[in-house]
Structure 1
């Protein structure tokens, strides 16, 4: 699989527009278009293979499902994971002849996505560093009442530096990197230790994402029983997400009925005492 110049340009533009400090704003960029599951559709449309792209994006999304950025702390910039990692992962999976829905295909995709996340972090903090420079220039312009420089340092210069820092790495990595990952099958045999290591680590990373999410959501250890019950439905009984949702709704309904019956008995007992 090859990515042509036009496709690489589109991916680079999307990487420039989507980040914590992206040009499209936080709501539309960081919380929407930079998420791997959403970005996989965009990447699939650009590459012309929506099905494979979404399968790869879904596998990568699980790893970063609990990613938050408190106070500007970015452990992994998702715009790089999405618009660099997903294209490279698609190329690697197709080049290796793997089924993207298989455990090996998902493991390889997740490994590449996690690796690229570090590149995104460098891009983010490079942009933040440049913004500090523009800020200092802006403060000096305020003292001199130079409104033109104030305007440029607030709106124009940060966008230019952000665009350059995000655009160029994405373009070159996606354009020249696909040939490298596509040839993994020739350089690293599928039954070799390096590839098996990547498959194993890639299959473990989603568990890390789920674990972080549980740590944020679960307040009482007893609540883990609900999670494991849902996991049992999905893994052991082969019930899909929709079926598990209906089972959960039924349990919630029964729980509501039990609570209401108990509340009714307490109310009746209180009236008798009066």
Structure 2
């Protein structure tokens, strides 16, 4: 029987911790690293071997998964920590959201070392990671995806792995996903803010346009009525990923730019995807004289 490859996971937050624990439970030797010692202790209790540092993890791993908090963090770790230590035939799978054009350029440096970097960003959050039901947008060759598939099935399930094309296309598809979510939420919030600011009730709107009051806007409206409008995400932190990528590819995203610029005027006092950000809803409902 062929032994399973050792999988190293860099970044043990909600997503990475679930990856490493599920891999260990599925019989893959699992190594993890995070800058926070308590994260290492938590996964160690579930059969994951803590690495001393990234160099140690790269040395012990056949396949490396990254789950880092931002595009900037991933690009820095991949280029400065993983790349200098990578071995021929090692595979690195990025599962976070990264600027597509920057990812493509970095992947070429891995190619030069005889290793492979592919993009497999995921959608589904902590629940999806813990329960292995993530949508995975894969970019890279068909052959490399087949090599990665047994690992991807463990972290996200077998039914939602989508091969989007060559390297970088997975990140581009994740961008479509994030922009779709951002603009659906932003559109509904702006409609609801207009209604509220002009004295209309949300119940009136649903009564007059019942066919267009679908589950998504109904859910957003419910959060607004509960006073949670400020916590509805418009993906503020990631919007520059897509405008930067567009600029590098010589096209424009005017609505994305405008949404980010509008939110940027506010205070970073709310949470968007668990991180400090200005709230679109808060800015929409502030008196104009205070903006």
Same fold (TM over 0.5): no
TM-score by length of 1: 0.26
Please state which structure has a larger fraction of its residues in helix: 1
Computing the radius of gyration over CA atoms, which structure comes out larger, 1 or 2? 1
TM-score by length of 2: 0.25
